[in-house]
Amino acid sequence: MQHNPRFLALVNEVRQRVNEVDVHQVKRWMEQSRPFVLLDVREESEWEKGHIPAAQYLGRGILERDIETRFPELDTPFVLYCGGGFRSVLAADNLQQMGYRDVISMDGGYRGWVEAGYPVEEDF
């Protein structure tokens, strides 16, 4: 996907404030049973086409509004993903600004996960 220059500039600025790991690290953490909440922040239509097993859906459009209700503890460990790792960076930054202390964005996103051949769930 070709992203607009201002969007990329924003993401690159925010990326400096956000912790990121790649899809392979997230897969290793899952295999090691490392405790974290895997949040899919894509659009609902994207989620319905397929998502990572064990992920919970909380799209960017409602993330900031609903996060405190679902996860009130500020020390909750989160790994966020989107389609390619751009929107999740922005979402992670917002959660950090809201006081959440253990937030990571998955670089590569869902596309990177699929390209790596890792399992997905489909809701067809």
Among candidates 89, 80, 90, which has minimal Cα distance to 58? 80
- Strand, helix or coil at 75? coil
pTM beyond 0.95: the answer is no
Residue ranges of alpha helices (H) inside 2-119 are 5-15, 23-31, 44-49, 63-70, 87-97, 109-115
pLDDT digits (tens, 9 = 90+) for 73-115: 999 999 999 999 999 999 999 999 999 999 999 999 999 999 9
Parse the chain into domains and list their residue ranges.
19-116
Residue 123 has pLDDT above 80, yes or no: no
Could you tell me the fold of the domain covering 19-116? Oxidized Rhodanese; domain 1 (3.40.250)
